[in-house]
Structure formats: C-alpha cells, structure tokens
C-alpha cells in the first residue's frame, strides 16, 4: 500500500481526491458489501483503487497482469471468496486472458474490473482501444460494460452472482474512464452479500438419489474418483465420511488432490495420466479395471484426469455428481446427480443408510490389505530415487524431504507441466481439505509463484511452499519483488534442470528427437532472488536440500531455493512408460556409432 504520507487529503465523506460522490465510490462500496477486502491491481483504474483504499480495501500490487490474475485465482481457490483483479485497458487487458482462461476451465470465481477508454472515444481508434467483449468472451462466463451511473449495484451484483453461482468461473465488468468519474447518487442501501461460493447449494431429485443408492448398495467393487469441485464445494469432510462409512476407495485427479487424507487405508492417491512407472497409481490400475461401479464426484472427466479416457473402461456403471449438468455424461454415460457435491454426498449417504449393507462390506479388510501392499510396492520401486544424494538432484528426493516437514496447515502450489506432476505424485495430503494448487485448467506455465502469493494473502500465517521448474519461473521472476514489497514469506523451490522438460521429452517420445528450443542457458536463480531482497539458496546435491528447506522455514521473508536437478528425470506420466527410455537408448546407440570428428 502507499505510505500514509503520500495519500490524498481526506474529505468529510472520508474519500480522498474527490469532493463529491462518484461511480468509483459506489463500486468500492459494492465490493465491500460483498466481503471483498483485498484486490490485486496495479493502480488502474486509479479512481476505483483510491476509492477502495479509502474504505479499507487493500490493493496487492502485482508486476504483470497475467500474474495478478493468477494471484486472484489462487486467493479464491483457498479462501472460498471471490478473487478480484483490476486492469488497464488494451495491452494490459490482453495479459489477463491466460489467467482468466485457467480460472474458467478450473471453475474459479474471479471478478476482473477492466478500465476502458472514455465512451466519447469508443470506435474512434482511441488510445489503446480494443474490443474487450471479443477479447474476453472465450475465457469468461460473463462480460458486461457499465454504462449508467444509477445501475452500479445492479451490475456489481450480476457480475458476482455470475461468478459464484452454478459452476463458478471468471467474469469481467468493463468500466469506461468517464463513467468511473461520473457523479453518483446512492439510490438504495443493499445488504445482500454474494461474494462467497458456492452461492447456491442445489440437490438432485430424490428419485435419482434413490436409484444411485440402490446401485451402490448392490455393487461389489465400487470406487470413487474425485475432482477439484470437491474443494470448491468444501465437500472434503462429506467425502471423507462417505469413504469411511461405506468402505469405498477414493482416488483423485490432480485438481482433487487433498480432498481426502492420502494416508487413509482406502485412499488411492492421484490417478489419471500419472499412473506410470514409479507412481503409486500404477499399482491401482488393476483395482480400477475390476471395479463395477464408478462414482465420479465433481470432476470434468478431462483427458489428464482419466489418462485419455483409458483409465476407466466404458462398460461399467457410472454415477456422476456435479454442479454443472452439462459435464454429467460428457465422457461416461452416468446416473445423473446434478447438484452441489457436499449436499449431494450427504443426501446420498442418507439414502444408503436406509438400505441393506452390500457385498463390499465383507471385503473391506482384504481391500485395505491390497491397498497397503500396493503402497509398499511403490515404496520399494522408488527407493533409489527418493534417497539419492547425488547431483544433479533427483526431483523425487526433493519431494521426499518435503514430506518430512509437511504439516496439515501448509499450502502447496506448483507450476504447470512437470512441477505439478512431481507434487501430485510424491507428496501426500495429510488430512481432508489440505490444499495443493496446480494450474490444471489450461496448464499454462508461470502460475506457480503467483498462486503461492495469492494463497499467502488468503492465509497470512500459513506456510506456503511453491514448486516451479526454471521454465515456469522464468515467466514471473519479477513477482519476487512483489513478494518482498508485500512481505509475503513464500518458499519457492526452483527445479532448475536448464531444459523445458516436458517439451523435450514429449518431442522425443513423438518424433525421436527434439528441437534446440528446449534448452536454456545456466541461470543462478538464487542470485536473482537476492538481487530483489529475497533469501536465495543454491542446492547442488540431494543431501543438502533438507538443510536449505529448514533454513527457509525459519526465515521471516520470501525464499528461493534453486535446486540443480537432473535433466534426464521425468515424472510418472503414462505416455512415457517404456517409450521414452527406448527413444533415449536408441539415440545414444546411434550417437555412439557416429564416426569421431578427430
């Protein structure tokens, strides 16, 4: 925030700079009514930011709009409240597209308040004019322009309702500069607060609930696959209760990681496309194959979460719980339970209690033993990589050290690509509702650090651990200055292998070779961190990471741990099983046969 001495003079109405009520004041008041006390911005629209600050709404100043949008996204994910980001028109607005697209695909309520050129200059090629409706139409639920000073509350309520109701998502309200400065009159005093989500908790019809309960009661080998919507519904306790009471194993998508305790004897961990070699999920594919009933809970059944729709065969019976009826049956014909995940799970449990216990109850001990054996096999399979002291460091070793210090109140964020998979595969949720944030909607690089900053704003006293590859971190280096300036003590581990790991390996797997664009020059990220005032630590051996992590945990500011990691390491993606190693071996063999240039 601006130092007190630099703020404008106060007037009797407790607003700086403006002696009379203007539209910007009404927008700020509406934000406050909806529970907003923090916005992510960069001083524009200035009249709105000043009005917000003067009534106690804090501005968290980002360096780039794409990062600011991601911060608002993460803030919303963990707080249960709408995230708000502001932006200038034109080029600044274009930088919001990626972060709003991620929020749309991940169902995160974000309100973007975007300044526009004055209405008198619209369609005259005004400075930085662009068609914001076309720009944002593909990445939001709702886009409108405020064009009347007496409809501020109407449009603010519509925007926030659109963001927080049904399947949540991002919305944009366009604010012409002259409209923000227009004189205003407080026409009414509204009290309703719409900024928390889910705004409405709906239930499926009773006939569908009864049918689903009957099917589940008779199932021999049911399994649950839970997605990120369980977090959005705050349904983790309801799901954990369902898992325990009815003895049903639960696996999750990457977005759903943390909805159940992954140490529970009936938890399968993260499934989908990360069930390859050296994953715990690999050992549960047979269990998925043997299932006769699959309950899909708040998941889009997207490509990654289903391993390109191969993890679960189509011939099974499916029950799909989702707030968005359009998602039910998209990829698997299902019994439709369209409703809020928490309320629907609770209602389904009530119906199940009225029915006889099914055959699965007699199998619980054997099922738990089978899951325990699978976990033990995974531990044996990964023993070498998780204990390796060598350098370059194995990412699995990094994750093993994090497990040793992880606590239930910590928040973990990961950048896109390999970072998300390392975290999803090798860390464990310690309780239902523990948060692991990853950009799996569009999976664009550069979200890890902004996610950490947004989450830290929502929970200032929690430890926030972030993991990013050097490729992802390169998108948002500048936001380390934000962490220092805003006193956000996030701990960022950079998995620095000097390559775009997934890009290189995917090209190898598909083409047998890769382009030279996959390689980076060596970068000392710890030095970059120190240059902006962070604590920077460089780690070159696996045995040194635990010490660096402990120093970071004891530090009272942001920390970057730059870990020089093995560029040949790749996480347990099923698409790489066997094939990638074969490509590497074939290439090495060809190289060895080439005549020497000497």
Q: State the pLDDT at residue 579.
A: 85
Q: Does some domain include residue 188?
A: no
pLDDT at residue 17, rounded to an integer: 52
User: 585 has which bridge partners?
Assistant: none
Residue 153 and residue 39 share a domain: yes
Residues 6 or more apart whose CB falls under 8 angstroms from that of 547 comprise none
Which range marks the domain in which residue 514 is found?
Answer: 383-592
The reply to whether 257 falls in a domain is yes
Based on the fold, state whether residues 73 and 174 are members of the same structural domain: yes
pLDDT at 11: 40
- Please give the helix or strand (H or E) that residue 386 lies within, else none: helix 383-386
Cα(511)–Cα(158) distance, integer angstroms: 49
Residue 78, in any domain of the structure:
yes
Question: Which of 146, 180, 214 is at the close of a domain?
Answer: 180
The reply to whether 506 falls in a domain is yes
CB of 371 closer than 8 Å to CB of 249:
yes
Q: Which of 250, 242, 261 is nearest to 225 (CA)?
A: 250
φ, ψ for residue 256 (rounded to 5)? Answer: -85, -5
DSSP 3-state of 427: coil
| Rounded CA separation 20/12 (Å) | 10
Tokens (6 digits) for 115: 């300044």
In degrees and rounded to multiples of 5, residue 293 shows phi and psi of -140, 130
- Give the Cα-Cα-Cα angle 373, 379, 381 (nearest 5 degrees): 105
> 358: helix, coil or strand?
coil
Query: Does a cis peptide bond (omega within 30 degrees of 0) precede residue 318?
Result: no
Instruction: Indicate if 371 and 397 belong to the same structural domain.
Output: no
pLDDT in the model for residue 40: 98
Q: How would you list the strands of the sheet with 171-176, edge to edge? A: 58-61, 38-41, 83-87, 110-116, 171-176, 142-145
516, 423: one domain: yes
Residue 186 inside a domain? The answer is: no
pLDDT given at position 16: 43
**Which pLDDT score is estimated for 7?**
35
Residue ranges for the chain with pLDDT beneath 70? 1-18, 187-188, 595-598
Mapping DSSP onto H, E and C, the string for 502-523 reads HHHHHHHHHHCCCCHHHECCCC
**CA dist., res. 255 & res. 43, Å (int):** 32
Q: Are 554 and 561 within 8 A, CB to CB?
A: no
Round to whole Å and give the CA distance between 72 and 108.
9
CA torsion sign, 411 to 415 to 416 to 417?
Answer: negative
Write down the pLDDT at residue 451: 98
412 domain-assigned: yes
| Final residue in a domain of this structure, among 376, 399, 419 | 376
Q: Are residues 347 and 251 part of one domain?
A: yes
Give 3-state DSSP helix, strand, coil % of the chain, rounded to 5: 45, 15, 40
147 shares a domain with 18: yes
Cis, bond preceding 198 (omega within 30 deg of 0): yes
- Any domain includes 503: yes
- What does the H/E/C string look like for 547-576? HHHHHHHHCCCCEEEEEEECCCCCCCCHHH
Residue corresponding to tokens 């995230």 = 83
Q: What pTM was estimated for this model as a whole?
A: 0.94
- Let me know whether 215 and 230 are in one domain: yes
Q: How far is residue 504's CA from residue 567's CA, in Å, rounded to a whole number?
A: 10
CATH of the domain at 152: 3.40.50.970
Q: Are residues 28 and 129 in the same domain?
A: yes
Tokens matching residue 100: 């709003």
Q: Which helix (H) or strand (E) holds 320?
A: strand 317-322
Same domain (yes/no): 367, 413: no
Domains held by the chain: number: 3
CA nearest neighbour of 81 among 50, 38, 142, 140: 38
* Pair (539, 410) in one structural domain: yes
Q: Is residue 199 a part of any domain in this protein? A: no
- For residues 535 and 462, state if they share a domain: yes
394 touches 566 (CB < 8 A): yes
Kindly state whether residues 363 and 488 are assigned to the same domain: no
Instruction: Answer whether the bond into residue 259 is a cis peptide, omega within 30°.
Output: no
Tell me which H or E stretch contains 467.
Answer: strand 464-469
Of the CA atoms within 13 Å of residue 117, those in its CB half-sphere come to: 15
Last residue of a domain, one of 348, 376, 404: 376
């Amino acid at each position: 925030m601006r130092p007190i001495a630099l703020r404008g003079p106060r007037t009797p109405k407790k607003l700086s700079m403006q002696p009379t009520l203007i539209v910007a004041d009404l927008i700020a008041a509406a934000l406050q009514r909806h529970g907003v006390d923090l916005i992510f911005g960069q001083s524009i629209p200035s009249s709105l930011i000043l009005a917000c600050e003067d009534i106690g709404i804090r501005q968290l100043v980002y360096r780039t709009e794409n990062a600011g949008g991601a911060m608002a996204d993460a803030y919303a994910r963990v707080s249960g409240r709408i995230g708000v980001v502001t932006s200038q028109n034109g080029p600044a607005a274009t930088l919001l597209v990626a972060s709003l697209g991620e929020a749309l695909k991940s169902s995160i309520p974000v309100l973007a308040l975007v300044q526009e050129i004055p209405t008198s200059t619209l369609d005259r090629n005004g400075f930085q004019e662009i068609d914001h409706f076309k720009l944002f139409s593909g990445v939001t639920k709702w886009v409108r322009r405020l064009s009347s000073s007496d409809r501020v509350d109407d449009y603010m309520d519509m925007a926030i309702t659109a963001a927080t109701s049904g399947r949540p998502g991002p919305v944009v309200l366009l604010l012409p500069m002259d409209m923000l400065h227009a004189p205003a009159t407080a026409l009414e005093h509204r009290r309703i607060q719409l900024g928390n989500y889910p705004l409405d908790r709906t239930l499926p019809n009773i006939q569908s609930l009864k049918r689903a309960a009957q099917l589940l009661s008779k199932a021999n080998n049911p399994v649950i696959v839970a997605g990120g919507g369980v977090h959005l519904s705050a349904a983790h306790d309801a799901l954990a209760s369902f898992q325990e009471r009815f003895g049903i194993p639960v696996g999750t998508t990457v977005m759903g990681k943390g909805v159940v305790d992954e140490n529970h004897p009936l938890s399968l961990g993260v499934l989908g496309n990360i069930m390859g070699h050296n994953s715990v999920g690999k050992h549960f594919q047979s269990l998925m194959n043997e299932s006769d009933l699959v309950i899909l809970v708040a998941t889009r059944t997207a490509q990654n979460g289903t391993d390109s729709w191969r993890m679960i065969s189509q011939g099974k019976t499916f029950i799909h719980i989702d707030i968005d009826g359009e998602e039910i049956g998209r990829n698997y014909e299902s019994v439709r339970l369209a409703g809020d995940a928490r309320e629907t799970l609770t209602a389904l449990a009530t119906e199940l209690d009225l029915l006889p216990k099914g055959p699965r109850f007699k199998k619980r001990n054997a099922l738990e033993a089978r899951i325990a054996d699978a976990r033990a096999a995974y531990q044996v399979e990964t023993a070498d990589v998780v204990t390796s002291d060598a350098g370059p460091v194995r990412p699995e070793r990094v994750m093993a050290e994090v497990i040793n210090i992880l606590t239930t109140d910590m928040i973990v964020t990961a950048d896109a690509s390999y970072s998300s998979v390392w975290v999803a595969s090798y860390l464990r949720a310690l309780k239902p509702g523990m948060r692991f944030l990853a950009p799996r909607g569009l999976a664009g690089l550069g979200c890890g650090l902004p996610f950490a900053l947004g989450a830290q704003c929502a929970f200032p006293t929690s430890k926030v651990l972030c993991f990013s590859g050097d490729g992802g971190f390169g998108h948002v280096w500048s936001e380390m200055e934000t962490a220092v300036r805003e006193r956000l003590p996030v701990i960022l581990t950079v998995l620095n292998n000097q390559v775009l790991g997934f890009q290189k390996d995917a090209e190898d797997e598909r083409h047998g070779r890769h382009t030279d664009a996959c390689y980076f020059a060596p970068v000392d990220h710890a030095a970059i961190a120190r240059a902006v005032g962070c604590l920077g630590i460089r780690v070159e051996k696996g045995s040194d990471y635990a010490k660096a992590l402990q120093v970071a945990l004891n530090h009272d500011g942001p920390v970057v741990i730059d870990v020089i990691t093995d560029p040949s390491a790749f996480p347990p993606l099923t698409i790489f099983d066997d094939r990638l190693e074969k490509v590497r071996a074939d290439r090495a063999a060809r190289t060895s046969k080439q005549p020497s240039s000497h």
